[in-house]
A and B are shown apart, each in its own frame.
Chain A
């Protein structure tokens, strides 16, 4: 389902069912090139798992999708729309802060370290962005936030501050917070890596539930089991390039590339 080769310059449109299309994405930090030409395509409703050793650029790539990092070359389109730039007369124009913010609202993101707002309760964390972005009135946002927290199994923790919640609970609040903006795409950056082993399951369950509901998700993870069970496609990255991709079961059972084999041998 995920095609590594995409005709350069072909613009994904909302109609063709492609949610994310990356073409030859390059990214450097100073003189270090972290991404060396990433091509990938994620279709609407698909769960795409990004695997790879640390330092392979998977998190950086994820952060490029919502323009937390500026790419140096290539194009990223989400739902047919170029991220961070506008193409006019064959030239790229940087977007204004405000336009970038508007694009980001359609893309939810969940971080490894949760990054909940510690001075707000769980409910306030979830209700804050919809109110500030002028989407909803306070009362409506609070109702929906409560419903979202209910959905991730935290209906009884609305008034708790993040410091009073376990890691797994915090990460579930973070997922609810991202969902509150009603995104069409969710990005997960190692959502279970900072959790105690016994708390990983509750977060993965929420993610599986989301996947079943047809949410388009890109998940950077080390959870091979999750990738195999929930993933529609698997991308194995190493050293800034896509080494191998395909159906998760296929790649995990019969890795073709040596680097994939070496990595899987370590984590399985």
Chain B
């Protein structure tokens, strides 16, 4: 029992000054990477095929800038369609109504099964099915024929499919509708990640299903939904290049390719495409960072760690209420 006095009297040991572990592998890696980078830079500088002067001269021209605007507009619009429709499809999928569930499942199944490129080309050619798209009473002609009226039409308004469905709108719909299927899965996972107790507590307070979803569950699901949505947006930005095959002319890749084809300088324009997409994606990455930070409100990094800690200790039979302080 004399240990207590011993420890206080004993002198503090000198701080450890050990020789750190050496990492010779790292130096080897640096050397190898250095050589590879040097080779790559050498290639960029000396190979005439890059034709840098020509590329820089062409890549900021008005048609390209118009294509850039088209690409950005397409990205934004397709994502707006994708996210809003995706939320609806996800909620339908989680509904108690079996019909809504079925419709939602079929939607997701179709749009996830068909590749985007095929979808884009298909939508670009939908004009073959209908010359005009009109809204009104369905099966109006058949109903008219049933009552002996020929050419009975009950249509409210319509537009020429050839004008509307070619180009930009077709591309937007193809990308947006396909995105909705993926977003639906993301939103569904987000909603399901919210603790069941949250819904129960809100139910016990007498809130309605919609209120619970809008005020309690979705805001918390956002934390889980936002990061993959950022990835989806970046993927969408790149996938807009697919609508060059619809074809949509007001689009970045189409325009760059057109310059390449016209001037027979194809390769520099492909490099220009790389640089443009790199730049745009980097800007989106910065935006994603700030969005994620906003939606982790109440889940600040330390708070989040504490909540996790509390979960762990509660499972272990105790509670970490101290951690919440």
On A, residues with C-beta under 8 Å from B are 66, 68, 97-98, 101-105, 107-109, 111, 113, 115-121, 128-129, 132-133, 161-170, 174, 177-178, 181, 194-196, 199
Docked-complex contact A104 and B324, CB < 8 angstroms = no
- What B residues does A163 contact at CB under 8 A? 298-300, 303-304, 306-307, 324
- Chain B residues within 8 Å of A101, by CB: 203, 206-208
Q: How far is the CA of A99 from the CA of B310 in the complex (A)?
A: 36
Best-buried of A103, A164, A169, A177 by chain B (most CB within 10 Å): A164
- With contact pairs A113-B197, A163-B324 given, residues A118 and B307 touching in the complex (Cβ less than 8 Å): yes
Determine if B216 is an interface residue (Cβ-Cβ < 8 Å). yes
Closest to B219 in A: A119
A161 to B299, CA, bound (A): 9
Q: Which of B203, B215, B219, B304 contacts A68 (CB 8 A)?
A: B203
Interface size of B by CB at 8 A reads: 35
Interface of B is mostly: helix
* Chain B: CB-nearest residue to A171: B321
Q: Check: B204 CB closer than 8 A to any chain A CB.
A: yes
Interface residues of B in 193-232 (CB under 8 A from A): 195, 197-198, 200-209, 211, 215-216, 219-220
Give the Cβ gap from A219 to chain B, nearest Cβ, in Å: 15
Q: Is the CB of A177 within 8 A of B205?
A: yes
Q: Say yes or no: is B318 at the interface (Cβ < 8 Å to chain A).
A: yes
**Nearest 5 Cβ contacts at the A-B interface:** A167-B321, A105-B206, A163-B303, A115-B201, A109-B204
Residue in contact with B321 in the complex, picked from A120, A132, A168, A178, CB distance below 8 Å: A168
Residues of chain B touching chain A, judged by Cβ–Cβ distance below 8 Å, are: 195, 197-198, 200-209, 211, 215-216, 219-220, 297-300, 303-304, 306-307, 310, 314, 318-322, 324-325
Q: Are B200 and A111 in contact (CB under 8 A)?
A: yes
Q: Nearest Cβ in chain B — how far from A73, in angstroms?
A: 23
B232 to chain A, nearest CB (A): 23
Contact partner, B325, options A109, A113, A166, A178, Cβ 8 Å: A166
A166–B323 Cα gap in the complex (Å)? 7
- Say whether, besides A163-B307, A166-B325, A195-B319, A68 and B209 are in contact (CB < 8 Å): no
A residues near B300, Cβ cutoff 8 Å: 163
